[in-house]
Amino acid sequence: MPKERLQKILSAHGIASRRAAESMIKDGRVTLNKVTAVLGQSADIEADIIEVDGKRLSDKKQYVYLMLNKPKGFLTTVSDDRDRKTVMELIADVKQRVYPVGRLDLNSEGLLIFSNDGEFANKLSHPSSEKVKVYEVNITGDIEKASELLQKPVTIYENDETKEIVVKAKHVEVISKIANKGLIKISIVEGRNRQIRKMCEQCGVKVLSLKRVSIAGVELGLLKPGKWRYLTENEVKLLG
């Protein structure tokens, strides 16, 4: 088997993203044939002994795919230096080591995918995948006007508030409306950071709650908040 960069091997086995794997190597957490690895090294997973935090990496890839109904108040991250709650606490009973694919911000809830398949994760989370994501959003303001504006090009800004991004909803449906409060369903393909919230703000409405209910046709369904289940083979194909 041809040799590959260590960070690529770690990513393919679901240990971490390639960038995070590079940091793990720099921090001395990875050894190659019992010697601390350095960035730039390559290895053959079948012939070499690769260990992460003292645990050997298997040459057999046993991939796991699951979904979680993320409640509000949990960070979509593996750990937090401020000891805040993370989604990893909700899947602590999963035997295999898996990682969240994509994000939902602290105050958002709903469908979140986990896997230890690095290539699957990279493909699904990359903007070029253009997987349709559907959200149910409770908003307040001019509902009808906002539903029209959201389907037209909207300019939002990245985290540093300097880079402009033009986005628009693929589809918007008003589910219910009473006075100036209502529930709308928004479909998007880009999946930028806090995209729905930023779009709604630009269109003059305030988000009261936000829940992701579908990705690429894979539905959250009746899964209760804080609970998880394995994906079916067909669901994995839809996401992959």
Question: Catalytic positions, please?
Answer: 105
154: its two tokens: 């909207």
Asked whether 122 and 90 are in contact (CB, 8 A), the reply is no
Separation of alpha carbons 133 and 81, rounded Å: 30
β-pairing verdict for 99-101 and 109-115: antiparallel
String of DSSP letters for 185-201: EEEESS--TTHHHHHHH
Integer angstrom CA distances of residue 87 from 98, 108, 126, 231: 11, 12, 21, 17
The CA R_g of the chain, rounded to the nearest whole Å, is: 20
